[in-house]
């Protein structure tokens, strides 16, 4: 177990280095730079700005200096928001994104797993069709359709929730619901598929033959294995929910991480792009590692090697 | 200046969403006067309002800032959100009249101008203090303006105050002694500014955010972190109480402001909501009291026209196509004229944009006091074909393929497609469209890597010079490669002309020359389209889309008043008496 952890953590280093290097040279290769605008910036000012941020040095030198600082999670100030450090921006936006993601994932599990189990147990019955039909709709409706539809119905017509912004518990409802829907649906489908697979296996037959109640068979024996696909899906899902809710953050004006990522790339805000990309990559890898560890706990057949 | 419609987050997303929301909105707008408003009767009986009209319980104004400001340090601020925040927190020597934007006495209660128009002496009000209690002196202004000019500040707007003696030389590092710059604090309450040439619009500059005073000690102590809420010191009607990036700003009344007694708002809440649909939703739901211009999806505008809280007006901006005159065949003025005459501006503004913009064939916008435009370029297919023939391409024969460059956006694409079709129809020439994302597009236009490019220009002050000065030889905003000695001479002579009428006549000649030579194809005149709740008093439609919020107030009796009551405080009688010499 420990050796697995150590090996995986060590493997993260070269992976991060490759990601950092590719991103660094790609963003610098994009046309333009951080100090350009529709209104011309005077040449003298441009030179001053470039000198101030070290952009006048050779790219290789900038790269080395970036790597040295990145190791300490220090990316310097954002070019677009020069009064703020990139680290500061990320750490300030992270709790918001994490909260949004946390609620959405919780909702996804709380509704997705039971629906999936129910559908599997009642396979090819009316309940199964209803649950899977709803899940198919949930997966298919994109969040940029669902979000405005919810706003129109629940906020602008029924006045139940504020249409956007991140203030007070009521403002969480619509963004969380919009973000969670697709995950509820996907987890329900994954659970159903996993459970169907497991319910046909010999040890389940054995459990039933022993005279265990159906409830015990399903929840004690089948669910433990049937949920594995969901567990492995949770890692990337968690990372995607934290950083990838760009659409939700825009529709609902949530001050999270996702909004920065897209705009930073458009603005050629090199430092902010690097900070966000590396942070996202690290998070993705750490979450996957956690999931792998959890896997070995849930399924004894998976070797902790 | 705001880059008109450039900050599209996820282009395709927006296209799909806008059409979708538009569909929903069309369904919803029909029965949209909300139930909560039904009981209101008297003065506003027949007026329909877009959404909730319940005034807030407290004296708070909530509005959309549009985007997170890049920096709200006035000396280096650039964009419109930056400027909005600066104007709430700081006050210059003069400040804008909320209706006309004419300079009113601000921190200076009067000023003298020498007859040659070269020396301005500003007299500060007595007992002015910063929000931390320190006295405001003329030296604060001197230091702040020198800070703008100092090369290491790298202020992008430093060029605005180049009319001051030696300002340009100091900014470009040619002189290093700041005493040579024509800014002098004669005593604690007197600031003397010497100009190199009489600059008709100089007073307008003293209210612009680049010229706002900044607190020297706070900046020396905190560096570029001085604008953080815990460090910032200001001198305007409000101070910064809370800020989280991308979340919101909270401003509270500054009790140390010289006219604090007339400031009625206790707080201002400003949210950087980038999505136009979201912003309009928040307005409809009554969260925002004011949805400023630029934050309403353009497709909504025809529907919103019937609502009493929708305001449409002129905005000092032009949407135009810029022609790269360094490339063949566009180096030929006859080709440029042909392209210009073949654009049907009426069709674009009225049909394509559903009258949300006004067709415009001049390069300077309307509304400059005393300025008459040269004849506008009109749609004239016969003349266009004639020009093209004179250029050596009769009937479009032999005309090489050129391309139109625009930054990725659905509206820009629709206009480019329309123009592509017009040029094909009227001139029989082939044009291809090319779109690039914002950063690449900026790079391409400033490096002259294009044939024809979409551009826009927004005025900084109320004078045609803010448009025409861009096209002098080598100006960074020219971006066409166009150079004309006669044009340069006209702009130079206008700058030193003391007689206002003569000066505007010279500028008119310059504009006529610019249109005649055709490095630009004006297309439409920008408009302001904003939503203001009926209970918000003191926000007016202005041509620069600048809105001083100092005397704005919440009118809880709004439905009993037919129109806005005279706002005694908007132009304090005291200030009026003190105005001028």
* Inter-chain residue contact B442 with A155, CB threshold 8 Å: no
The DSSP-derived string for B67-102 is S--S---TTT--SHHHHHHHHHH---SEEE-TTT--
Angle between helices B500-517 and B333-341 (to 10 degrees): 100
- Cβ under 8 Å to A: B residues 43-102: 51, 68, 70-71, 73, 78
DSSP letter (8 states) at residue B259: T
B108-113 and B119-124 as β-strands: parallel, antiparallel, unpaired? antiparallel
Residue B431 C-alpha, separation from nearest chain A C-alpha, in angstroms? 24
DSSP, collapsed to helix, strand or coil, labels residue A6 as helix
Residue A294 maps to a domain? no
* Inter-chain residue contact A164 with B273, CB threshold 8 Å: yes
> What is the pLDDT, as a whole number, of residue B45?
53
d(CA A146, CA A184): 14
* Inter-chain residue contact B154 with A93, CB threshold 8 Å: no
Q: Among B541, B134, B478, B518, which Cα is nearest to B314's?
A: B541
Asked if residue B460 lies in contact with residue B546, where contact means CB atoms within 8 angstroms, the answer is no
Q: How many domains does chain A have?
A: 1
Measured between CB atoms, does B20 come within 8 Å of chain A?
yes
Name the residue of chain A whose CA is nearest to B228's CA. A83
Question: Which residues from A are below 8 Å from B225, CB to CB?
Answer: 83
Residue A276 maps to a domain? no
Which residue's structure tokens are 């999936």? A116
Tell me the mean pLDDT in the region A89-113: 91
Mean per-residue pLDDT of chain B: 86
> What is the pLDDT, as a whole number, of residue B570?
37
* Inter-chain residue contact A32 with B439, CB threshold 8 Å: yes
Question: Which residues from B are below 8 Å from A52, CB to CB?
Answer: 152, 154
Range of the domain at A219: 91-266
* Inter-chain residue contact A148 with B456, CB threshold 8 Å: no
The predicted-structure confidence for B248-282, as pLDDT tens digits, reads as follows 999 999 999 999 999 999 999 999 998 899 999 99
* Inter-chain residue contact A164 with B244, CB threshold 8 Å: no
Residue A66 C-alpha, separation from nearest chain B C-alpha, in angstroms? 21
Has residue B471 got a pLDDT over 60? Answer: yes
Preferred mutation among A49, A79, A163, A171 to probe B, highest tally of B CBs within 10 A: A163
Token duo for residue A36: 């350009």
The correct answer on CATH 3.30.70.980 for the domain covering B80-228 is no
Name the residue of chain A whose CA is nearest to B20's CA. A145
* Inter-chain residue contact B225 with A260, CB threshold 8 Å: no
* Inter-chain residue contact B173 with A37, CB threshold 8 Å: no
> What is the pLDDT, as a whole number, of residue A206?
87
Preferred mutation among A86, A164, A168 to probe B, highest tally of B CBs within 10 A: A164
d(CA A28, CA A24): 6
The predicted-structure confidence for B538-563, as pLDDT tens digits, reads as follows 999 888 889 999 999 999 888 887 66
Name the residue of chain A whose CA is nearest to B169's CA. A44
> What is the pLDDT, as a whole number, of residue B552?
94
Any idea of the CA torsion for B348, B353, B359, B364, to the nearest 10 degrees?
-120
Residue B35 C-alpha, separation from nearest chain A C-alpha, in angstroms? 10
| Sequence-distant (≥ 6) Cβ neighbours of residue B42 within 8 angstroms | B559, B560
Tell me the mean pLDDT in the region B48-70: 91
Residue B17 C-alpha, separation from nearest chain A C-alpha, in angstroms? 6
Question: Which residues from A are below 8 Å from B437, CB to CB?
Answer: 266
Has residue A33 got a pLDDT over 90? Answer: no
Residue A21 maps to a domain? no
The predicted-structure confidence for A180-233, as pLDDT tens digits, reads as follows 998 999 999 999 999 988 888 888 888 888 888 888 888 888 888 888 888 888
Residue A46 maps to a domain? no
Preferred mutation among B5, B10, B154 to probe A, highest tally of A CBs within 10 A: B154
Measured between CB atoms, does B455 come within 8 Å of chain A?
yes
Measured between CB atoms, does B125 come within 8 Å of chain A?
no
- Cβ under 8 Å to B: A residues 256-275: 256, 259-260, 262-263, 266-268
> What is the pLDDT, as a whole number, of residue B288?
94
Please name every residue paired with B521 in a beta bridge, in sequence order, or none if there are none.
B321
Tell me the mean pLDDT in the region B281-297: 92
* Inter-chain residue contact B24 with A148, CB threshold 8 Å: yes
pTM of the model: 0.85
Has residue B569 got a pLDDT over 60? Answer: no
Residue A296 maps to a domain? no
Side-chain-side CA neighbours of residue B323 (13 Å): 26
- Cβ under 8 Å to B: A residues 181-240: none
Residue A154 maps to a domain? yes
* Inter-chain residue contact B477 with A39, CB threshold 8 Å: yes
Q: Among B510, B513, B418, B400, which Cα is nearest to B463's?
A: B510
Please name every residue paired with B194 in a beta bridge, in sequence order, or none if there are none.
B119
B402-407 and B452-458 as β-strands: parallel, antiparallel, unpaired? parallel
Asked if residue B565 lies in contact with residue B342, where contact means CB atoms within 8 angstroms, the answer is no
* Inter-chain residue contact A83 with B7, CB threshold 8 Å: no
Tell me the mean pLDDT in the region B131-152: 94
Model confidence at B27, in pLDDT bands (50, 70, 90)? very low
Question: Which residues from B are below 8 Å from A92, CB to CB?
Answer: 244-245
Model confidence at A40, in pLDDT bands (50, 70, 90)? confident
Question: Which residues from A are below 8 Å from B247, CB to CB?
Answer: 166, 255
Has residue A115 got a pLDDT over 70? Answer: yes
ipTM of the complex: 0.87
* Inter-chain residue contact B70 with A81, CB threshold 8 Å: yes
Tell me the mean pLDDT in the region B413-438: 93
The predicted-structure confidence for B87-135, as pLDDT tens digits, reads as follows 999 999 999 999 888 899 999 999 999 998 899 999 999 999 999 999 9
d(CA A20, CA B346): 51
Asked if residue B235 lies in contact with residue B153, where contact means CB atoms within 8 angstroms, the answer is no
Measured between CB atoms, does B358 come within 8 Å of chain A?
no
Instruction: Break chain B into its structural domains and give their ranges.
Output: 2-66+242-298+544-577, 80-228, 313-527
Q: Among A229, A225, A219, which Cα is nearest to A201's?
A: A225
Model confidence at B12, in pLDDT bands (50, 70, 90)? very low
- Cβ under 8 Å to A: B residues 419-448: 436-440, 442-444, 446
- Cβ under 8 Å to A: B residues 317-356: none
d(CA B9, CA A294): 37
Has residue B578 got a pLDDT over 50? Answer: no
- Give how far Cα B506 sits from Cα of A109, B116, B326, Å: 72, 19, 27
Token duo for residue B495: 């700058």
Give the domain CATH number at A169: 1.10.3720.10
> What is the pLDDT, as a whole number, of residue B408?
85
Task: Select from B10, B152, B475 the Cβ nearest to the Cβ of A48.
Answer: B152
The predicted-structure confidence for B306-338, as pLDDT tens digits, reads as follows 899 999 888 989 999 999 999 989 999 999 999
> What is the pLDDT, as a whole number, of residue A201?
86
Tell me the mean pLDDT in the region B370-394: 93
DSSP, collapsed to helix, strand or coil, labels residue B560 as helix
The domain defined by B313-527 folds into Dipeptide-binding Protein; domain 3 (3.10.105)
Preferred mutation among B71, B245, B457 to probe A, highest tally of A CBs within 10 A: B245
Residue A180 maps to a domain? yes
* Inter-chain residue contact A266 with B476, CB threshold 8 Å: no
Tell me the mean pLDDT in the region B207-236: 93
Residue B287 C-alpha, separation from nearest chain A C-alpha, in angstroms? 8
Measured between CB atoms, does B16 come within 8 Å of chain A?
yes
């Amino acid at each position: 177990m420990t050796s697995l952890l150590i090996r995986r953590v060590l493997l993260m280093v070269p992976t991060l280095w490759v990601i950092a290097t590719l991103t660094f040279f790609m963003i610098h290769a994009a046309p333009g730079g951080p100090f350009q605008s529709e209104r011309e910036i005077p040449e003298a000012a441009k030179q001053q700005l470039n000198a101030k941020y070290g952009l006048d040095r050779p790219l290789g030198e900038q790269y080395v200096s970036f790597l040295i600082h990145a190791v300490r999670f220090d990316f310097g100030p954002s070019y677009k928001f020069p009064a703020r450090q990139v680290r500061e921006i990320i750490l300030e936006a992270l709790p918001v994104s994490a909260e949004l993601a946390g609620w959405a994932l919780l909702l996804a599990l709380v509704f997705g797993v039971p629906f999936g189990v129910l559908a599997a147990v009642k396979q090819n019955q009316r309940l199964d069709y209803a649950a899977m039909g709803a899940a198919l709709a949930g997966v298919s409706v994109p969040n940029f359709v669902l979000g405005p539809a919810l706003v129109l119905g629940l906020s602008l017509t029924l006045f139940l929730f504020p249409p956007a912004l991140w203030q007070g518990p009521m403002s969480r409802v619509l963004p969380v619901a919009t973000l969670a829907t697709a995950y509820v649906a996907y987890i329900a489908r994954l659970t159903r598929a996993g459970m169907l697979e497991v319910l046909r296996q010999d040890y389940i037959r054995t459990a039933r033959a022993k005279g265990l109640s159906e409830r015990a068979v399903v929840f004690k024996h089948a669910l433990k294995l049937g949920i594995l696909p969901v567990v492995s899906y949770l890692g990337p899902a968690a990372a995607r929910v934290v950083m990838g809710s760009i659409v939700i953050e825009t529709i609902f004006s949530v001050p999270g991480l996702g909004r920065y990522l897209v705009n930073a790339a458009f603005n050629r805000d090199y430092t902010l792009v690097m900070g966000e990309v590396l942070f996202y990559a690290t998070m993705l890898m750490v979450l996957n590692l956690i999931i792998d560890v959890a896997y070995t706990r849930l399924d004894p057949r998976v070797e902790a090697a | 200046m705001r880059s008109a419609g450039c900050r599209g987050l996820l282009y395709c997303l927006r296209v799909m969403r806008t059409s979708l929301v538009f569909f929903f909105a069309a369904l919803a707008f029909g029965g949209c006067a909300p139930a909560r408003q039904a009981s209101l009767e008297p003065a506003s009986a027949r007026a329909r309002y877009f959404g909730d009209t319940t005034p807030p319980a407290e004296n708070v104004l909530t509005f959309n800032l549009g985007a997170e400001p890049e920096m709200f340090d006035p000396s280096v601020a650039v964009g419109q959100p930056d400027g909005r925040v600066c104007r709430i927190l700081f006050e210059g020597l003069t400040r804008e009249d909320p209706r006309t934007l004419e300079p009113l006495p601000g921190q200076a209660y009067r000023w003298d101008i020498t007859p040659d128009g070269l020396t301005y002496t500003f007299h500060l009000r007595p007992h002015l203090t910063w929000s931390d209690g320190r006295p405001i002196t003329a030296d604060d202004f001197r230091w702040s303006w020198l800070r703008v000019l100092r090369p290491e500040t790298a202020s992008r707007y430093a060029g605005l105050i180049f009319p001051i003696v030696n300002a340009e030389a100091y900014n470009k590092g040619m002189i290093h002694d700041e005493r040579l710059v024509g800014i002098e604090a004669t005593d604690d309450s007197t600031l003397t500014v010497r100009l190199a040439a009489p600059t008709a619009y100089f007073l307008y500059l003293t209210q612009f955010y680049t010229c706002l005073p900044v607190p020297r000690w706070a900046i020396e102590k905190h560096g570029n972190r001085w604008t953080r809420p815990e460090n910032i010191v200001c001198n305007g009607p409000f101070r910064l109480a809370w800020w989280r990036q991308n979340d919101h700003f909270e401003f509270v009344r500054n009790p140390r402001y010289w006219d604090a007694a007339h400031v009625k708002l206790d707080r201002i809440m400003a949210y950087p909501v980038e999505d136009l649909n979201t912003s309009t939703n928040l307005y409809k739901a009554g969260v925002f009291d004011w949805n400023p211009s630029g934050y309403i999806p353009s497709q909504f505008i025809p529907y919103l026209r019937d609502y009493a809280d929708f305001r449409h007006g002129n905005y000092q901006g032009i949407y135009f196509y810029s022609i790269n005159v360094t490339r063949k065949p566009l180096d030929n003025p006859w080709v440029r004229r042909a392209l210009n005459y073949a654009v049907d501006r009426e069709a674009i503004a009225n049909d394509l944009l559903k009258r949300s913009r006004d067709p415009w064939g001049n390069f300077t916008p309307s509304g400059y006091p005393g300025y008459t435009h040269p004849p506008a370029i009109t749609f004239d297919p016969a003349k266009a074909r004639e020009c093209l023939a004179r250029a050596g391409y009769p009937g479009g024969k032999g005309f090489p393929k050129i391309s139109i460059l625009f930054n990725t956006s659905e509206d820009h694409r629709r206009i480019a497609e329309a123009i592509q079709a017009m040029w094909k129809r009227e001139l029989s020439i082939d044009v291809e469209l090319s779109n690039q994302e914002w950063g690449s597009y900026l790079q391409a236009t400033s490096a002259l890597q294009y044939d024809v490019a979409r551009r826009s220009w927004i005025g900084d002050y109320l004078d045609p010079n803010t448009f025409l000065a861009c096209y002098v030889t080598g100006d960074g905003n020219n971006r066409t490669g166009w150079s004309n000695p006669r044009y340069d001479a006209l702009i130079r002579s206008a700058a030193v002309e003391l007689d206002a009428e003569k000066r505007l006549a010279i500028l008119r000649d310059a504009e006529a020359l610019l249109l005649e030579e055709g490095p630009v194809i004006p297309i439409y005149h920008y408009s302001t389209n904003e939503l203001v709740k009926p209970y918000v008093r003191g926000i007016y439609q202005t041509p620069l889309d600048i809105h001083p919020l100092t005397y704005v107030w919440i009118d809880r009796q709004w439905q009993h008043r037919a129109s806005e009551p005279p706002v005694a405080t908007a132009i304090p009688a005291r200030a009026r008496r003190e105005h001028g010499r």
